[in-house]
Structure 1
Amino acid sequence: MMTKARTLPSILTVSLHGKQIGTLTHLGDDRILFAFDEAYIEDAERATLSLGFKDEYGALATEFPVTQTRALPFFSNLLPEGHLRTYLAERANVNPVREFALLEALGADLPGAISIALAGGDPVRVEDQPADVTADIAEQPFGFSLAGVQLKFSALLEARGGLTIPARGLGGDWIVKLPSREFEGVPENEFSMMTLAGLVGIDVPPIELVNLADIGNLPDGIGLGDGRLKGKAFAIARFDRGADGARVHIEDFAQIFGVYPEEKYKRASIRQIARVIGIEAGNADVAEFIRRLTFNVLIGNADMHIKNWSLIYPDQKRAALAPAYDFVSTIPYIRDESFALKFSRTKRFDEFGMDELAHLAAKAELPEKLILDTATETAARFHEVWAQEKAHLPMSAQVRTAIEAHLQSLRGF
């Protein structure tokens, strides 16, 4: 049972790359106001916090509405959802719907290079909380989400090769995704799809398939440490943490578009994402985006919502497409004829083709030849790699069979 919530501080500082850039103020009655510091506003060399904070002229927006209970979407998307949110809120002794309190409690290890702390003090560190708060544990309001049946934590790679979840949630450089109780072989599925993606030429972080027995310190209280989960877990290196532990800033497209997590399936399209990448990152990243899009159509991933696409800021200012993540063939578990987001005019897998891609290119004002050539080359490479590797990867026969049938339904791919 939730104990009585503690009294909230009135001001939290927001830092980027270790430098304060703004504040979140609790105004009472669960009202929250975000404001940039004047020094950040006036800094011509300032690091980028989010493309979502650009105004219509491309300048830094500086006026924000007061929000109720929830923070602005940028900050709301830093927090976990669903069961993991409930668990962490209980550990922190806060109400899970009160995002100011959650940001206070979890601010020491947020995704990217952002941190949130009590004004005049250090971030609160909740005892024994799992490290990672990038977990996308969805409530599935608008479609099937494999994120809703897996829990993700940040983990340290130990010298012996096992993975241990840090007790206090700091310093983790891997994300560990435990198996689903409902769907069999999801970690093996994701490992196989991400391996195939790397072979196709997609930018994939280091990945591992690890035994659950090699993961230490699974937290109590969320049904994971009771021995009932068996088999393998999927681990992927965090690309928002450098080799020396330095933080690299990232943001997902829900943050960029100012969309709350529960709207991640319906408030943007692939065409809109491509347009932003073309403007902010350039043609090489547009090609990589189309490569990933084509690949996920081919494997039947119906869960590529806007939180599964992210930008990264290697030099702290300019955006690039972040490495790939969350590539899973969803169709073996729940049959779906449609992609999570509309491509340009349609969501249907069997309507993804040259005509739809040409329409996307025109509307997004991107080079048509680049997009069509990339999709064609990716499809050809995929079929080559699929034929060579499908029998050797650890995916189940169910997954292999579902993808084979799906490929037969696609036109021209």
Structure 2
Amino acid sequence: MSTISHLDIYLHDRPVGVLVLLPGDRSLFTFLDEYIEDTARPVLSLSFKDEFGETITATRPVQTKLPPFFSNLLPEGIMRNYLAARAGVKESREFFLLWVLGEDLPGAVTARPADGVKPPPHSALSDARQWEKEDDHLKFSLAGVQLKLSALRRTHGGLTIPARGLGGDWIVKLPDLRFAGIPENEFSMMSLARHMGIAVPEIALLDLDEIDGLPRDITVVKDQNGLKGQTGVQGQAFAVRRFDRPEGGGRVHTEDFAQIFRLYPERKYERANYRNIAEVIAAEIGMDGIEDFIRRLVFNILIGNGDMHLKNWSLIYPDRRHAALAPAYDYVSTIPYIKSDTFALNLGGQKRFDDIGLDAFLDMADKASLSTKMTRRIALESVTRFREVWQKEHPHLPMHDSVRNAIAANLNRCPLAKAQ
């Protein structure tokens, strides 16, 4: 039996390329000729598209990490540490982490070793066997830093975490004792976004006893004093249906803007701004996409969400070839937890919520060659709509008072909230 030296990359179960492990812990991705030559091929990523719309085939090997598109498929932070530890994989060895998690990546990509191939004898995986156990919850790698698991909807309500996390069509985000009420916060912000006319997947708040199959090393605690490490959880969980796993089965391909801009996850707050995102949306989707983008920007400024970085904006490919703006996700008001938080990226030269006004949108539109008249109209309509939705809905939503008060204070200070 040969040792693993490459992973076959599939898109919608169609082979598209090979990710090769080279000597010196370097990796290189190459497309298959049949994929390149197919003029009706599905889109893997805009990052592989040049200015003329042709597929970029000349790539260079990268050290230790995977190429940015694949690196961004892997989890970050707590989730990465948790899964890597369970699999016996060093979290920095991304090739091997992809090998373990490659069957349930975001979107429609899978990474598979050739049949019968085992890991190299001196790799971090050579002595690890945990991922082969039936009760393991490894094969789920949705990017992000919050501890979250793939789940299936039970016919009688609630959710079930499947063995190995494979095939889940819901994401369960567990509560975090460091930040009180995060699940209730996200549920409330996503509910407000839906009332604003923003596309939002199906969502739910669940008591932890409504979730079957939590990994045995995740401990449910009754109070903060009972927490014994990062895998203790307390309170309710937030659940959201995966928009890349439609009802009826199958997968829909997606990619985030860190992938599109060929940036590693740690650069998700750098090297790009909202104008850059707008330019891609205008080119790939058109004005309907831009209007939706402006509406989402306004919403996240008014709720004080400082985490709208490149990985929290995604494109989705419903027909496999043409992009649309993916449904909203990870909408959380961050200002109750980080009092001095700012917008994640630059908008018209501004990042502080206290400084962002209508002029920032007009500056973005001008530099992105968008209609300033349209931008003004959509921004002002969105501000008005938000105030109506907030006034009507916030008293009935389960957000903590600290969240409610922080957003109310932001609306009183933020110039955009007063624009007319």
- Taking structure 1 as the reference length, the TM-score comes to 0.92
Give the aligned partner of residue 141 of structure 1. Answer: none
Give the aligned partner of residue 196 of structure 1. Answer: 192
Q: CA RMSD in A?
A: 1.8
* Equivalent residues of 2:101, 2:138 under 8 A apart: no
Are 1:379 and 2:387 counterparts? no
User: C-alpha deviations, 1:370-400, integer Å up to 9, x for none?
Assistant: 2211111111011011111111110111111
Shift of 1:412: 4.3
Count of residue pairs brought into register by the alignment: 394
Give the aligned partner of residue 100 of structure 1. Answer: 95
Larger deviation, residues 52-61 vs 108-117:
52-61
Q: Which one-letter code corresponds to 2:33 in the other structure?
A: E
- Structure 1 unaligned regions, length at least 5: 1-6, 138-149
* Matches of 1:298 and 1:329, distance apart in 2: 9
Larger deviation, residues 300-309 vs 336-345:
336-345
Give the aligned partner of residue 52 of structure 1. Answer: 47
Q: Which one-letter code corresponds to 2:373 in the other structure?
A: K
Q: Residue 341 of structure 1: which of 335, 345, 359 is its match?
A: 345
CA pair 286-169 structure 1, distance change in 2 beyond 3 A: same
- State the SS of the aligned residue for 1:236: strand
CA pair 162-33 structure 1, distance change in 2 beyond 3 A: same
* Matches of 1:259 and 1:298, distance apart in 2: 28
Shift of 1:183: 1.2
CA pair 412-172 structure 1, distance change in 2 beyond 3 A: closer
User: C-alpha deviations, 1:114-158, integer Å up to 9, x for none?
Assistant: 001012469996541245311301xxxxxxxxxxxx311111011
Q: Residue 135 of structure 1: which of 127, 143, 163 is its match?
A: 143
User: C-alpha deviations, 1:315-354, integer Å up to 9, x for none?
Assistant: 0001110000011111011112520100121212233222
Larger deviation, residues 274-283 vs 340-349:
340-349
Q: Which one-letter code corresponds to 1:57 in the other structure?
A: F
1:29-44, aligned counterparts within 5 Å? 29-44=24-39
- Structure 2 unaligned regions, length at least 5: 120-130, 223-231
Identity of aligned residues (%): 54
Q: Which one-letter code corresponds to 2:159 in the other structure?
A: L
Shift of 1:56: 3.3
Q: Which one-letter code corresponds to 2:270 in the other structure?
A: K
Give the aligned partner of residue 125 of structure 2. Answer: none
* Equivalent residues of 1:173, 1:241 under 8 A apart: yes
Shift of 1:90: 2.6
Q: Residue 187 of structure 1: which of 183, 187, 203 is its match?
A: 183
* Matches of 1:216 and 1:187, distance apart in 2: 18
Larger deviation, residues 387-396 vs 115-124:
115-124
User: C-alpha deviations, 1:69-105, integer Å up to 9, x for none?
Assistant: 1110100000011222122223323222111111111
- State the SS of the aligned residue for 2:296: helix
* Equivalent residues of 2:104, 2:140 under 8 A apart: yes
Are 1:324 and 2:332 counterparts? no
CA pair 224-317 structure 1, distance change in 2 beyond 3 A: farther
Give the aligned partner of residue 126 of structure 2. Answer: none
CA pair 368-18 structure 1, distance change in 2 beyond 3 A: same
CA pair 108-337 structure 1, distance change in 2 beyond 3 A: closer
Q: Residue 303 of structure 1: which of 289, 307, 323 is its match?
A: 307
Give the aligned partner of residue 240 of structure 2. Answer: 236
- State the SS of the aligned residue for 1:34: strand
Give the aligned partner of residue 115 of structure 1. Answer: 110
- Taking structure 2 as the reference length, the TM-score comes to 0.90
User: C-alpha deviations, 1:146-190, integer Å up to 9, x for none?
Assistant: xxxx31111101112111111122110001111111111110011
* Matches of 2:415 and 2:293, distance apart in 1: 20
- State the SS of the aligned residue for 1:198: helix
* Equivalent residues of 1:8, 1:101 under 8 A apart: no
Shift of 1:8: 5.6
Shift of 1:225: 4.9
1:7-406, aligned counterparts within 5 Å? 9-120=4-115, 126-127=132-133, 128-137=136-145, 150-221=146-217, 223-225=218-220, 229-406=233-410
* Equivalent residues of 1:130, 1:168 under 8 A apart: yes
User: C-alpha deviations, 1:217-268, integer Å up to 9, x for none?
Assistant: 21133x4456653221101110001112200000000100011111111121
Give the aligned partner of residue 3 of structure 1. Answer: none
* Equivalent residues of 1:295, 1:382 under 8 A apart: yes
Q: Which one-letter code corresponds to 2:409 in the other structure?
A: A
* Matches of 2:216 and 2:284, distance apart in 1: 43
* Matches of 1:88 and 1:179, distance apart in 2: 18
CA pair 8-71 structure 1, distance change in 2 beyond 3 A: farther
